Amino acid sequence: MTGEEGIMIEIHNLTKQFEKIRAVDEVSVEIREKTVFGLIGTNGAGKSTVLRMIAGVIKPDEGTVAVDNMPVYDNVEAKKRLFFIADEPYFFANANAMAMERYYSGVYEAFDREEFYRYLEKFNLDKRRKIGTFSKGMKKQLALLLGICANTKYILCDETFDGLDPVMRQGIKSIFAKEMEERGLTPVIASHNLRELEDICDHVGLLHKGGVLLSKDLEDMKCNIQKVQCVFGAVEDELKALNGLEVLKKEQRGSLCTITVRSTREEVEARFATVDTVFYEVLPLSLEEIFISETEVVGYDIKKLILG
């Protein structure tokens, strides 16, 4: 454990095996304060198992999880700082939203009852209606509202936005942003869909076959990978512009080149300013394009892993 300032959840060599299946294989990641951490991976990649070990629901076979420098498993004080929302949230039989509020108010001392009922009205969730009659999306909304109003430092969400329509997704994302700004909430969101997390995550970890394939800060990735569309005046100009740059991908259609390079925008613009081009333009990359570039370099095709 590093105990480094700003790192609030530390996962070191986390391993979990179920009979002959190694669900999580020596996973090490750091989740920093006041960020949204996205855990991306296909079904079976180990996302849910990692979240359950962070939450202290299951015990790792090897490795450690620390929350604010405290081991989390079998530690009540550490668990008070976490709220875990499973892919299929659990509610008591025949309970309504009021009954779940009473339960969680007893578990979490800082539970905000007034805010919870305000959110129920905002999301048109009937506080007296039996949760068993809710749709999957309504159940997911209710679980998220309970988690937010518990006022824990961390909220762990497994497939948070699955089953929510686009308007509801944006509503939940807005609430996350508000809670992060006002009280430093740190959401950890597991999803099989990279596109769902593009506009909310600060840092993304990519899980594949139980191991971490990639874990990077999105702003750093965006700053260090550039996509350029251009038409060179001559072959010599292309060679001069790209000499010494790490080219991740190059496509050519007629005279139009689309080149993805690992470099800063400033360096790319400086290079291209010294050669003869008919035109050139540095274009923004989507999160999907960044991850495709990064994973292709290490021999994986993220389109097959995440994007179907």
SS3 at position 44:
coil
For residue 281, the one-letter residue type is: E
Helices and strands of the chain, counted as H and E runs: 11, 14
User: Which strands, in side-by-side order, build the sheet including 70-71?
Assistant: 21-32, 7-18, 62-67, 70-71
CA 188 to each of CA 54, 59, 156, 221: distance values in angstroms, whole numbers, following the listed order: 10, 19, 5, 19
Residues 6+ apart with CB under 8 A from 152: 80, 81, 82, 83, 108, 110
pTM of the model: 0.82
**pLDDT at position 244:** 87
**pLDDT at position 93:** 94
**pLDDT at position 3:** 42
Sort residue 299 into left (φ over 0), alpha (ψ -120 to 50) or beta: left
66-108 pLDDT tens trace = 999 999 999 999 999 999 999 999 999 999 999 999 999 999 9
Residue 297, pLDDT above cutoff 70: no
- % of the chain surpassing 70 pLDDT: 93
**pLDDT at position 1:** 38
Q: Which domains does the chain have, with CATH numbers?
A: 7-209 (3.40.50.300), 221-305 (3.30.2130.10)
What sign results for the dihedral spanned by CA atoms 82, 87, 91, 97?
A: positive
99-110 pLDDT tens trace = 999 999 999 999
Could you tell me which of 76, 64, 40, 276 has the C-alpha nearest to residue 158?
40
